[in-house]
Copies of this chain bind each other. A is one copy, B any other.
Amino acid sequence: MGANMARRLADLGYPVTAVYDHHASLASSLAIELGSQAVTTLPEVTAAADVIFTVVTDDASMNEIFSGDASLLKGASGKVFINCATVSPGAHEAAAEAAEAMGADALAASMASSITQARQGTLYLMVGGDEAVFERLEPLLKDISSSLRYVGPVGNAARIKALVNMVMNINTAGLAEGLGLGAAMGLDLQLLKEVFSQTGANSRVLETDGDDMITREHDCYFSASHAAKDSGIANVMADSAGVQAPLSRATEAQYRKLIDLGLGELDKSGVAELTFPGRVNG
């Protein structure tokens, strides 16, 4: 994701002055491709740029890059961080507070899009944080997105993103049940899919994942592991808020079952492996 955002920025002529990855070889090859430099410590990233994009995988990584002397915070005064990871609202808030304590600014930019959109600069971006900082960075953010929304305080971007993925994952796991049961009853699945599309059963995931579930085409766009993580974030939020979320809990359980079966790297459509007859069936 981060690499494709960097490619897009480079395409538009932005100076990509440094790239960093936990796996140094990934950073090296991207640096060669973009005529950038691969750095091996986080403070070098901060030193090399005015605006620093971050995309990490989980709360622990987010906490790691924003704490201590060996982190992005070193020498951060006057810099702006744009944190794009899908992590918990609290992790975004903590990162922003730590940055601000060092005299830096931080925005949370949640992406409801995938790798292709990052490469093409057509991300769906929801940005939380100080509104004046958002307005200052708006031209840059517009260059990587086709839809850009300011959503309020820094944690809101992650909250909305978590809710998007929560509902998307529920719809996906639910669709897998409908199509799987249709398959078990010997129905014509193309007819069933068409009827779904024309009735109250229609959904975006029917369009994106319906055929993949039927044909077992689970190449990864958004992995089952990510789905489990994101539904998990939403479920923790529901716990904190005292909100009932039995479907979201059932959805997280399905995706965790896929992980337990060693299938966490399948696309989220892989949840159909649990519901179609004669497949894995947990």
Contacts and interface: CB of A to CB of B under 8 A. Distances in A.
> Which label, helix, strand, loop or mixed, suits the secondary structure of the A interface?
helix
Given A163-B178, A200-B205, A237-B181, A253 B246 contact: yes
Interface stretch (A4-12, A15-23, A57-65, A274-282): A274-282
Interface in A238-260: 238, 241-251, 253-254
Interface stretch (A27-35, A70-78, A79-87, A184-192): A184-192
B277 A199 contact: no
Interface residues of A, number: 64
Contact of A170 (B163, B171, B254, B275): B171
Contact of A247 (B166, B185, B200, B247): B247
Given A170-B174, A174-B167, A184 B242 contact: yes
Interface stretch (A46-54, A93-101, A148-156, A211-219): A148-156
A277 B277 CA distance: 39
A200 B248 CA distance: 15
A264 to B, nearest CB: 18
Interface in A118-150: 124, 126, 147, 149
A193 to B, nearest CB: 10
A180 B243 contact: yes
Interface of A: 112, 124, 126, 147, 149, 151-152, 156, 159-160, 163-168, 170-171, 173-175, 177-178, 180-182, 184-185, 187-188, 191-192, 195-196, 198-205, 208, 234, 237-238, 241-251, 253-254, 274-275, 277, 281-282
